[in-house]
A and B are shown apart, each in its own frame.
Chain A
Amino acid sequence: MVRVTINKEPREALVEPRTLLAYFIRDALGLTGTHVGCDTTSCGACTVLLDGVPVKSCTILAIAVQGHEIETVEGLEQEGVLHPLQQAFWDNHGLQCGFCTPGMLMTSKALLQSSPGELNEADVRRAISGNLCRCTGYVNIVKAVLAARERLREAQEEVRTS
């Protein structure tokens, strides 16, 4: 029995010991937003946050995350409001086929959380370099991540001044 907290909700499922985290999330917990695109930890479509850190869930056994906290793309939207990253990807045409998008969003979320200081284009490009996209050529993804950072900053500013 593997027990995790996923998107703030405690969940458990009985799976074979060799089950990968990606398939635990997709098949056992039914959260299919996390995708699988390769078998060598290269593409990043399966990226989720494990205790806030981005990991490729195709390369971790489900049993190894017993009791830990997982966050997937399904946890981004809060009370019907899109996460600023989701909104920015939509506004800036940061996705096309949508298959890499959940992984790209989770890696970007970790970047924004872990980098309180200035972020430039090169920082974003380096941060998402473990997430492959075949459709967009990355330009609009980078634009979206920087736009989301700006939006989060404005929101913080509003909180501070109010």
Chain B
Amino acid sequence: MSIDITESRPLGKAVKRKEDPRFIRGQGRYLDDIVLPGMLYMALLRSPYAHARIKQIRTQGALQVPGVKAVITGEDLAAMNLAWMPTMAGDRQMVLATGKVLFQYQEVAAVVAESREAAEDGAAAIEVDYEPLPVVVGPFFALTDKAPVLREDRESKNNHIFHWEVGDKEATQAQLNTSPVRVTEHIRMPRVHPAPIEPCGCIADFQRSTGKLTWYVTSQAPHAHRTVLSMVSGLPEHMIHVISPDVGGGFGNKVPVYPGYVCAVVMSLKLGKPIKWIETRTENITTTNFARDYHMSAEIGATEDGRVMALKVTTIADHGAFDAAADPSKFPAGLFSIVTGSYQFPVAFAEVDGVYTNKAPGGIAYRCSFRVTEASFLIERVMNTLALKLNMDPAELRRRNFVPPEAFPYLSPLGWTYDSGNYDKTLTRALEMIDYQGLRESQRKRRDRGELVGIGISTFTEIVGAGPSHTFDIMGIKMFDSCEIRVHPTGKVIARLGTRHQGQGHETTFAQLIAEELGLSAADVLIEEGDTDTAPYGLGTYASRSTPTAGGAAALAARRIRSKARQIAAHLLEVSPDDVEWDGTGFVAAGASSRRVNMSDVALAAYTNLPQGMEPGLEATYYYDPPNLTFPNGAYIAVVSIDRGTGQVRVERFVAVDDCGTVINPMVVEGQVHGGLTEGFGIAFMQEIAFDEEGNNLSPNFMEYLVPTAVETPKWETDRTVTPSPHHPIGAKGVGESPNVGSPAAFVNAVVDALSPYGITNVEIPLFPWKIWEILKEKGLAM
């Protein structure tokens, strides 16, 4: 149960969230809640075709609609050299289409009007003549000679974006060739979307009198957005003030800069008025960054007693019409090389080829640290196939191959140094919670009665917290993060960070962390994020990086303050600083514990009664460049049964044991795990952005693109083990994404387990009931 917010030593306790009082009253301040004087609204006209030449655009009709103030097209932007913008992946993307459109719903024109409705009417009154072109939907077809070249603006006259590989190809193949047991599996992770309930949007407010642009935007990375906007628009960076207000969920969707943002800024510069643009849900799902769309093949070589010897992975990645993947610059396939997972592969090799198609650009790190979900899903699925081939219990196979606790720091064959973990302990806890032996016995009995019952295990390892700046940057900017702490004379604190929460609870958890370091309560510490004029520079909140990076900065900034506070305390206690001890909530004179001052005594002295020659004030800023990433892990077990009449899968139980190192707030961690599991459940069972052969998006809204409701979402059972990160200042590893990364494989492994007596080793997600029912029918199991 939760504790009172005024308690001291709050680290590790279930402090009730400080942000909730405004949210439960409906007084959050989200983007669309902001109304500025004289504000105009913008709507975008979008392409009905997936691939077409634009012959003519007639905008006169829009300008005749009452209330419409301005229209811009790609040609207008081209005159300003803004028709294209750079993407994070080093490609470029059309802001408004010039020449041709490359995906359905692509942005073609922008209309500004006095109301939302008039802007929509204006967009509808624009006439565009298109000449449809042959469409490339499938990524494998895109690579053939028969496919038209989509990106005529590029030098390379093909649809291949990049080839990326890692590991020892020859040694891996040699090892596979001599392995007594070999399994291969083809695994597709379909295109999905983060779909936060609040869509993306912005208000661009350019004031001609000051030359300053205030840009309110649904942003997970406000500072990065400021820098990118400055680079794209040519506005000086100090004249751009980015404010990311309360954000209604992000999950990676609110990391990139989108064409609508650029159009709103252009319109504000043009008209000198505030311009608001908010996506509809359809625009959100069809155009802003999707995730996954990885077509993977993996082969494992193993010994007959189940020791893995080699892993080879080949992947085709569908990035859509522009390579707008949100990955660190040096990593076109993100951190996919975590694909060896929790297992000691002596050798491994992975390669990824990126491909253009006539689909919306992406892909995003959707609730995962850059392609980690794809990697974890693949290895956990193929380990399952290996267990089937060896006729070995999947828990036992995993145990035989885990990186053992004594092997850390562990250098993986694909180049990562895992910081810490105790995989066996985590799995053991999950097996205990679910009574694994009893469960297997019950499964045997139920199978004898004709029931289709399956148990699926996933023991994943994540890689989060980008990152060490020698390896990680985004468009050249190093991926450190920051915290500035100011202690006021009365001992109360404001802290600002370069991250931006979207529901993760930073206003509470970072307050707990700083309060713990300074001997205060969480109530004493106000956390502020999302305002680039006040917060120190940071790279933002995604990839589970906030606690690993900004959390490290917060702890070390607080320790800087404590170090100065010790000098002041010595002065107040009239002893040498060496004779001052920190007892967790204050300073005491060594050997005389009755002589004591706390942080508020010190804070007052910092402004009123300083030691001679000391600089006044009590503030610190820390830019934390982590020495390594962190490697959270987990053991998840799903139990499912399949209805032989309908193919419907019921998740009977789901146990999740996570190890995210030191826990700041167990209530918040549990909440994050619940949410991530639910998103993983959606991915496994009901989500795919599908296209027809003409490139029409078949899942453009919440009627077709399903989000789990309370009815079908399982009741989650959670616990944790704690293996602190040895290099993080408080030992924390990050947790927000683990459940989304680790759970899909557990669900699928469970369904495959239910069907494996009938020769099934793989079922492609999403596991729609009709798909399962077709298998049942083919195997004569349907009732």
- Chain B, residue nearest A122 (CB): B711
Q: In chain A, residues 100-157, which have Cβ atoms closer than 8 Å to a Cβ of chain B?
A: 100-102, 105, 121, 124-126, 128-142
User: Is B674 touching A136 in the complex (CB atoms < 8 A)?
Assistant: yes
User: Could you tell me if A134 and B196 are in contact, using CB atoms closer than 8 angstroms?
Assistant: yes
Q: Are the CB atoms of B702 and A38 closer together than 8 Å?
A: yes
Q: Which of B21, B677, B702 is in CB contact (< 8 Å) with A132? A: B702
> In this complex, what residue of A is CB-closest to B711?
A129
Chain A residues, CB < 8 A from B141: none
**Within 8 Å of chain A (Cβ to Cβ): is B28?**
yes
| Bound: A124/B247 CA distance, A | 27
List residues of B (690-716) whose CB comes within 8 Å of A's CBs. Answer: 701-703, 707, 709-711, 713, 715-716
Q: Which residue of A lies closest to B677 (CB)?
A: A137
Say whether A82 contacts B24, CB under 8 Å: yes
Cβ of A125: which chain B residues have Cβ within 8 Å of it? 710-711, 713
Known contacts A97-B248, A97-B249; A139 and B667 CB within 8 A of each other? no
Contacts of B24 in A (CB 8 A): 73, 82, 86, 89-90, 95, 98, 101, 105
Contact A136 B702 (CB under 8 A): no
Contacts of A72 in B (CB 8 A): 26
Query: Is A91 part of the binding interface, using a Cβ–Cβ cutoff of 8 Å?
Result: yes
Contact yes or no, A98 B28, CB < 8 A: yes
The residue from B20, B23, B32, B281 contacting A43, defined by CB atoms under 8 A apart: B281
Whether B26 pairs with A135 at a CB distance below 8 angstroms is: no
Q: Which residue of A is nearest B195, CB measured? A: A134
- Asked whether A51 is an interface residue with its Cβ less than 8 Å from the other chain, the reply is no
Partner pick for B30 among A27, A99, A126, CB 8 A cutoff: A99
* B503 in the interface (beta carbon within 8 A): yes
A38 touching B281 in the complex, CB below 8 Å, given contacts A97-B196, A136-B675: yes
A32 and B33 contact, Cβ closer than 8 Å, known pairs A99-B28, A139-B716, A142-B710: yes
A101: which B residues are within 8 A, CB to CB?
Answer: 23-24, 26
Bound-state CA distance A12–B748 (Å) is: 54
1/0 contact trace for B661-680 toward A, CB 8 Å? 00000011011111111110
Query: B142 to chain A: closest CB distance in Å?
Result: 31
Asked whether, in the complex, the Cβ of A37 is within 8 Å of the Cβ of B197, the reply is yes
- Mark out the residues of chain B between 621 and 680 whose CB falls within 8 Å of any chain A CB in the assembled complex: 667-668, 670-679
Q: Are A96 and B702 in contact (CB under 8 A)?
A: no
Asked whether A96 lies within 8 Å of B667 as measured between CB atoms, the reply is no
B64 — which chain A residues lie within 8 A by C-beta?
Answer: none
CB contacts (< 8 Å) of A76 on chain B: these are 25
- Tell me whether A99 and B197 are in contact (CB under 8 A): yes
Contact A100/B197 with A33-B26, A73-B25, A139-B715 known, Cβ cut-off 8 Å: yes
A8 partner residues in chain B, CB cutoff 8 A? none
Q: Smallest CB–CB gap between A103 and chain B, Å?
A: 9
| The residue from B26, B29, B35 contacting A102, defined by CB atoms under 8 A apart | B26
Say whether B117 contacts A138, CB under 8 Å: no
Bound-state CA distance A124–B710 (Å) is: 9
With CB as the reference atom, state the residue of chain B lying closest to A83.
Answer: B24
Tell me whether B551 is interfacial, beta carbon within 8 Å: no
A33: chain B residues at CB < 8 Å are 25-27
CA distance A19 to B29 in the complex (A): 22
Among residues of A, the one whose C-beta sits closest to the C-beta of B282 is A39
- Once the chains are docked, how many angstroms separate the CA of A141 from the CA of B711? 12
In the complex, the chain A residue whose C-beta lies closest to that of B21 is: A90
The answer to whether A40 has its CB under 8 Å from any CB of chain B is yes
Q: Which residues of chain A from 1 to 42 have a CB within 8 Å of any chain B CB?
A: 16, 18-19, 23, 26-27, 31-40, 42
B residues contacting the other copy or chain, number (CB 8 A)? 60
For B280, give its contact among A39, A126, A140 (CB under 8 Å): A39
Chain A, residue nearest B717 (CB): A139
- CA of A76 to CA of B647, assembled, Å: 43
**Beta-carbon contact of B675 and A98 below 8 Å:** no
Say whether B246 faces chain A, with CB atoms less than 8 Å apart: yes
User: Please, which residues of chain B bring their CB within 8 A of the CB of A45?
Assistant: 197
| Complex contacts, B677 vs chain A, CB 8 Å | 137
> Does B219 touch A at the CB level, under 8 Å?
no
With CB as the reference atom, state the residue of chain A lying closest to B248. Answer: A99
Chain A residues within an 8 Å CB radius of B503: 96-98, 135
For A82, list chain B residues within 8 Å (CB): 24
B17, CB-defined interface residue at 8 Å: yes
Q: Does B600 contact A (CB under 8 A)?
A: no
Q: Which residues of B contact A27 (CB under 8 A)?
A: 35
Please measure, in the bound complex, the distance between the C-alpha atom of A137 and the C-alpha atom of B674, giving whole angstroms.
Answer: 5
Residues of B within 8 A of A35 (CB): 30, 32, 197-198, 248
Q: Which residue of B lies closest to A75 (CB)?
A: B26
Residues of A contacting B117 in the complex (Cβ-Cβ under 8 angstroms)? 16, 18-19
Binary per-residue interface labels of chain B (1-31) against chain A in the complex, 1 for a CB within 8 Å, 0 otherwise: 0100000000000001101111111111110
Q: For the complex, is B251 an interface residue (Cβ under 8 Å from A)?
A: yes
Within the complex, the shortest CB–CB distance from A141 to chain B, in Å, comes to 7
CB distance from A24 to the nearest CB of B (A): 12
CB distance from A16 to the nearest CB of B (A): 7
Does residue B329 face the partner (Cβ distance < 8 Å to A)? no
Interfacial chain A residues near B21, Cβ < 8 Å: 90
User: Which residues of chain B come closer than 8 Å to A42, judged between CB atoms?
Assistant: 281, 701-703, 707
Which residues on B sit within 8 Å (CB–CB) of A126? 710-711
Q: In the complex the two chains form, is B281's CB within 8 Å of A37's CB?
A: yes
B20 touches A73 (CB 8 A): no
Task: Report the bound CA distance from A100 to B24 in whole Å.
Answer: 10
By a CB distance below 8 angstroms, the chain B residues around A130 are: 709
Is A96 in contact with B199, judged by CB distance below 8 angstroms?
Answer: no
Contact A31/B702 with A90-B21, A99-B248 known, Cβ cut-off 8 Å: no
Alpha-carbon gap, A7 to B711, bound state (A): 30
Complex Cα–Cα for A133 and B709 (A):
8
Chain B residue at smallest Cβ distance from A19 = B117
Nearest chain B CB to A84 CB, angstrom units: 11
Measured in the bound complex, the distance between the Cα atoms of B701 and A73 in whole Å is 26
B482 at the interface (CB under 8 A from A): no
Q: Per-residue 0/1 for B761-773: is the Cβ within 8 Å of any A Cβ (1 yes, 0 no)? A: 0000000000000
- CB-nearest residue of chain A to B702: A42
Residue of A nearest to B281 (CB): A38
Complex partner residue of A98 from B35, B246, B281, B672, CB under 8 angstroms:
B246
Could you mark each residue 68-83 of chain A with 1 if its beta carbon is under 8 Å from any beta carbon of chain B, else 0? Answer: 0000111011000010
Query: For the complex, what is the distance from the CA of A126 to the CA of B670, rounded to whole Å?
Result: 23
State whether A86 and B713 are in contact (beta carbons under 8 Å apart), knowing that A32-B33, A93-B667 are contacts in the complex: no
Of A74, A98, A133, the residue contacting B23 (CB under 8 A) is A98
B505 interface residue, CB < 8 Å from A? yes
- Contact: B17 with A132, CB < 8 Å? no
Most buried by B among A18, A43, A126: A43
Q: Which residues of A contact B249 (CB under 8 A)?
A: 96-97, 99, 134-135
CA distance A53 to B32 in the complex (A): 26
How far does the Cβ of A118 sit from chain B's closest Cβ, in whole Å? 18
Contact with A along B463-476 (1 / 0, CB 8 A): 00000000000000
Residues of A near any B CB (own CB < 8 A): 16, 18-19, 23, 26-27, 31-40, 42-43, 45, 72-74, 76-77, 82, 86, 89-91, 93, 95-102, 105, 121, 124-126, 128-142
30 CB-based A-B contacts, threshold 8 Å: A19-B117, A26-B33, A32-B26, A34-B26, A35-B32, A35-B248, A36-B32, A39-B280, A39-B701, A40-B701, A82-B24, A90-B16, A90-B17, A90-B20, A91-B16, A93-B17, A96-B671, A97-B247, A98-B248, A100-B197, A126-B710, A128-B710, A130-B709, A131-B710, A132-B197, A134-B197, A135-B503, A136-B674, A137-B674, A137-B677
Chain B residues engaging chain A, CB cutoff 8 angstroms: 2, 16-17, 19-30, 32-33, 35, 115-117, 195-199, 246-249, 251, 280-282, 502-505, 667-668, 670-679, 701-703, 707, 709-711, 713, 715-716
Top 10 A-B pairs, shortest CB-CB distance: A33-B26, A98-B23, A99-B248, A97-B503, A137-B674, A42-B702, A73-B26, A96-B503, A137-B678, A38-B281
* 8 other A-B residue contacts (CB within 8 Å) besides A89-B24, A142-B710: A39-B281, A42-B702, A73-B24, A93-B16, A95-B20, A95-B24, A98-B503, A137-B716
